[in-house]
Amino acid sequence: MGRVAKTSISAMAHDGQNLTPVPNAISVNFLLQFFPIDRLINIVVTSSSRSVEDRLNRTSIGSFLCLGFSTLLGVFFIAAALWLWGAREVRGDQGEVFVLTLVGVVWLAISYQLFPWLGLNIRDDAIERQNHAALIASCSALISVSIAYAAGNLGEGPTYEENIFCAGLSNGGMFLLWLIYEAATHVSRSITEERDLASGFRFGGLLLAWGLILARAVTGNWHGANSAMHDFFHDGWLASIMCLVGIGVELLLKPSRSRPFPSWPSCGLLPGLVYVVAAAAYVWHLGRWEGMPQ
């Protein structure tokens, strides 16, 4: 039988007929029938897309939780500062602390609406686009606003209007420095477009430093608007110096063609920590404010 089959195939080839690898085709069809590769590929692609979508959803939830935690931390700091260091009629009074804390929540909501005008959109950049650099800067901005508002309520004063004046002074100073810093460095572009994590850490640390310094500059007993302005400039001058230093550092360490991806620990986290530590040391150097409870 082997010779006959070989002879027949040779004769067909000699006659010029095309040979079709029938056994191979049969084996491929057999494999496809019992091992559907096309279905397997479809399952792999579908599961991969679902896993990517799941990861994105988890990242969005994580960003939302970080922002929520920062907001709650700021509100807690406001309530704790009022309870411990507020005016005499506020300290220990649950109603007074609740009202002023509620005003602080409204204050945060208004500040949240101002962030996009300065190049930082929390919802679009930090949550929807899962931009970690924007997330760090946004959390720092929320905490800084909370510190500045809480400080405006510390010290003795006749009415709530003085509290609003001092809180507006500290927060207004911070937003002005932010505007100058943005105009000089375009840091929002590095954070939102280039997603540079180092820029997020640097700017976040600078925001916290501004918040600490300007908050300390408005604390104390009320002696009139002129006195409050004098104390603000007298005690808050370091924030302007840090803004100028920060501009120089940002222009030096921002992403460039020669260094498109700066190291975030050395070029971002370290300068940010230096800003915060320097501000905290200055606040410690100023010591107790007038009217601070013993």
Walk along the chain (294 residues) and give the pLDDT tens digit of each residue.
Answer: 443 343 333 434 444 444 444 444 444 454 344 444 444 345 344 444 444 344 445 567 888 889 999 999 999 999 999 999 998 889 888 999 999 999 999 999 999 999 999 999 998 998 888 899 999 999 999 999 999 999 999 999 888 899 999 999 999 999 999 999 999 999 999 999 999 999 999 999 999 999 999 999 999 999 999 999 999 999 999 999 999 999 999 999 999 988 889 999 999 999 999 999 999 999 999 999 998 987
What pLDDT is stored for residue 58 in this prediction?
A: 57
How far lies 73's CA from each of 63, 203, 290, in Å? Answer: 15, 19, 26
| Whether the Cβ atoms of residue 198 and residue 185 lie closer than 8 Å to each other | no
* DSSP states of 255-268: --SS-SS--HIIII
- 93 by Cβ neighbours in 10 Å (0-12 / 13-18 / 19+) ranks as middle
Where does the chain have alpha helices with state H? 2-14, 22-34, 37-85, 94-114, 132-152, 160-185, 187-188, 197-217, 225-253, 264, 270-286
154 forms beta bridges with 86
Give CA–CA dist 91/291, Å, rounded: 12
Name 169's Cβ contacts closer than 8 Å, sequence gap at least 6.
152, 218, 228, 229, 232
Compute CA distances 144 → 95, 177, 276, whole Å. 25, 13, 11
- In b/e form, how buried is each residue of 53-81, taking b as 16+ CB within 10 angstroms? eeeeeeeeeebeebbeebbeebbebbbeb
Please, are residues 86 and 100 in contact by the beta-carbon 8 Å criterion?
Answer: yes
Give residue 72's identity as a one-letter amino acid code: L
Predicted confidence at residue 4, as pLDDT, reads: 39
- What's the sign of the alpha-carbon dihedral 121, 119, 182, 200? positive
* Coil, helix or strand at residue 176: helix
86 DSSP β-pair partners: 154
Q: Two tokens at 54?
A: 């799941």
Q: Do 13 and 20 form a contact (C-beta atoms < 8 A)?
A: no
| Residue 186: both structure tokens together | 């375009």
In 3D, which of 199, 146, 148 has the Cα closest to residue 173? 148
Nearest alpha-carbon partner for 74 in 66, 86, 63: 66
Q: Are 81 and 149 a contacting pair, CB within 8 Å?
A: no
- C-alpha 48/C-alpha 7 separation (Å) is 53
